[in-house]
């Protein structure tokens, strides 16, 4: 895992969008795993901008979203299909037939979950999975008690998640209590993961996710098992991390991140901090 700390949420979202754009340019047939939520909106804004201004081409890529609420048809303004249309799909040259979200109104939800897993496999697996993190530490809707090897399934939402998203529904009572979500095991099979977390309200859970023990109670801790996971945060979300000097040194010195660095220091002026 690597942790990249950016000065603010704009810079953090910018970096994630640049990583996605770089991967998509390198492989136009990219299979992209997508997340929804407020944090991701800034990433999609930037991808739309790159499509408009730099001709970033989505025509050959395939997408799989992490999750969808049970009981919401795609026409519902709170469905994640609606969110994706609004924030990305409608504004870029993606072929909608290549975009996938679980069907939250499927008659047989278990079958729908099985088919979703099969579809991911049919496309050769996910190349790059975007992730946010909930206040209860979920990735996708893998709420506490999610098995670390879980597959796509229906999961009941915790009170923390209901409270986090209730405003969008005009109150908790109107919000679905369950969602279909890719499992932790499904997410861990993606070739690369990139998690974006911004804002002070994510600082505690982020520290537990990155530096705490791996536990099914905080599904984001499972990312510690992933061979290629990048966590991008702003200063506010990084506030409770302990090894920030180490994380900063890696970002400022590893060749992979050269093109993403904001400030270049003169060579030799940034020695590895001593612990
Ligand atoms: C939704 C999803 C969730 C969100 C998380 C953060 O598709 O995957 O895990 O990423 O709840 O949501 P925001 O960004 O609204 O704080």
How many Å lie between the centroid of ligand 1 and the Cα of residue 134? 5
How many Å lie between the centroid of ligand 1 and the Cα of residue 265? 35
Q: 37 CB under 6 A from ligand 1?
A: yes
How many Å lie between the centroid of ligand 1 and the Cα of residue 215? 19
Confidence of residue 234 (pLDDT cuts 50, 70, 90): very high
Q: Is the pLDDT of residue 199 over 90?
A: yes
Quick: pLDDT tens for 251-275. 999 988 998 886 444 444 444 444 3
Q: Once rounded to an integer, what is the mean pLDDT over residues 176-192?
A: 98
Q: Is the pLDDT of residue 29 over 50?
A: yes
How many Å lie between the centroid of ligand 1 and the Cα of residue 27? 26
Tell the burial category of 255 from Cβ atoms under 10 Å away from its Cβ (0-12, 13-18, 19+). Answer: exposed
pLDDT at 103: 98
CA 152 to chain centre: 16
Nearest CA to ligand 1 atom 10: 132
Helix/strand number for the chain, H first, E second: 8, 10
pLDDT at 160: 93
Q: Once rounded to an integer, what is the mean pLDDT over residues 171-180?
A: 94
> 149-183 as b/e, with b when 16 or more CB fall inside 10 Å?
ebbbbbbebbebbbebbeeebeeeeebbeebbbbb
pLDDT at 256: 87
How does strand 178-181 pair with strand 67-69? Answer: antiparallel
Confidence of residue 201 (pLDDT cuts 50, 70, 90): very high
Q: Once rounded to an integer, what is the mean pLDDT over residues 64-80?
A: 97
Q: 33 CB under 6 A from ligand 1?
A: no
> Which ligand 1 atom is the nearest neighbour of the CA of 40?
14
Q: In the predicted model, what is the mean pLDDT of the chain?
A: 94
pLDDT at 262: 62
pTM of structure: 0.94
Q: Is the pLDDT of residue 181 over 60?
A: yes
Q: Residue 184 is encoded by which pair of tokens?
A: 């932790």
DSSP 3-state percent helix, strand, coil across the chain (nearest 5)? 45, 15, 40
pLDDT at 247: 97
């Amino acid at each position: 895992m690597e942790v990249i700390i950016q000065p603010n949420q704009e810079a953090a979202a910018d970096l994630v969008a640049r990583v996605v754009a770089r991967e998509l340019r390198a492989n136009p047939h990219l299979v992209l795993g997508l997340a929804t939520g407020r944090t991701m909106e800034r990433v999609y804004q930037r991808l739309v901008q790159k499509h408009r201004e730099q001709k970033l081409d989505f025509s050959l890529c395939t997408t799989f979203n992490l999750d969808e609420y049970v009981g919401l048809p795609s026409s519902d303004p709170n469905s994640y299909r609606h969110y994706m249309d609004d924030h990305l799909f409608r504004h870029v040259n993606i072929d909608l037939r290549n975009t996938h979200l679980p069907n939250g109104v499927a008659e047989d939800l278990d079958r729908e979950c099985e088919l979703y897993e099969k579809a991911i496999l049919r496309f050769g697996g996910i190349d790059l999975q975007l992730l946010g993190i909930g206040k209860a530490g979920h990735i996708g809707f893998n709420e506490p008690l999610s098995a670390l090897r879980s597959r796509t399934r229906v999961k009941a939402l915790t009170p923390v998640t209901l409270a986090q998203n209730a405003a969008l529904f005009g109150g908790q009572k109107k919000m679905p209590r369950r969602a279909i979500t890719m499992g932790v095991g499904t997410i861990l099979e993606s070739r690369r993961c990139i998690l974006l977390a911004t804002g002070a309200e994510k600082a505690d859970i982020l520290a537990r996710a990155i530096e705490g023990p791996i536990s099914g109670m905080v599904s984001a801790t499972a990312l510690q098992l992933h061979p290629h996971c990048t966590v991008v945060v702003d200063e506010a979300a990084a506030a409770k991390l302990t090894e920030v000097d180490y994380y900063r040194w890696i970002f400022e010195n590893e060749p992979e991140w050269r093109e993403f660095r904001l400030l270049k220091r003169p060579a030799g002026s940034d020695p590895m901090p001593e612990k």
